[in-house]
């Protein structure tokens, strides 16, 4: 899948959870959603955007959730 498509989809998920008053909980909920519903290849490809020029396209809350995914060892 194209990175821009994954980023757009992840940012849409982030927009939903971004409204939560507890940012830390929003980050964990986004990471949990990605872990439960996204194919491991999609998660890996999204994580590959970190550190590259496409990282700037991610909402801050989504970027933190993707980093949390990597730290939890949830990929794949």
Local mean pLDDT, 10-residue blocks, the chain (76 residues)? 95 95 96 96 95 96 94 57
Range of the domain at 34: 3-72
From CA 34, how far away is CA 31, in angstroms rounded? Answer: 5
Residue 55's SS3 state is helix
Q: What's the confidence (pLDDT) of residue 72?
A: 65
Read off the pTM.
Answer: 0.89
Q: Is the dihedral of CA 39, 40, 41, 44 positive or negative?
A: positive
Q: What's the confidence (pLDDT) of residue 73?
A: 56
Ordered alpha helix ranges (H), the chain: 3-18, 23-37, 40-47, 60-72
From CA 56, how far away is CA 3, in angstroms rounded? Answer: 12
From CA 51, how far away is CA 4, in angstroms rounded? Answer: 15
Q: What's the confidence (pLDDT) of residue 71?
A: 81
Number of domains in the chain: 1
Q: What's the confidence (pLDDT) of residue 48?
A: 95
């Amino acid at each position: 899948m194209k990175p821009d498509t994954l980023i757009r989809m992840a940012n849409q998920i982030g927009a939903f959870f971004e409204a939560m008053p507890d940012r830390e909980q929003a980050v964990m909920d986004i990471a949990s959603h990605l872990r439960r519903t996204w194919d491991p290849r999609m998660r890996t490809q999204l994580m590959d955007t970190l550190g590259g020029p496409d990282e700037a396209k991610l909402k801050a809350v989504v970027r933190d959730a993707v980093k949390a995914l990597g730290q939890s060892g949830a990929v794949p």
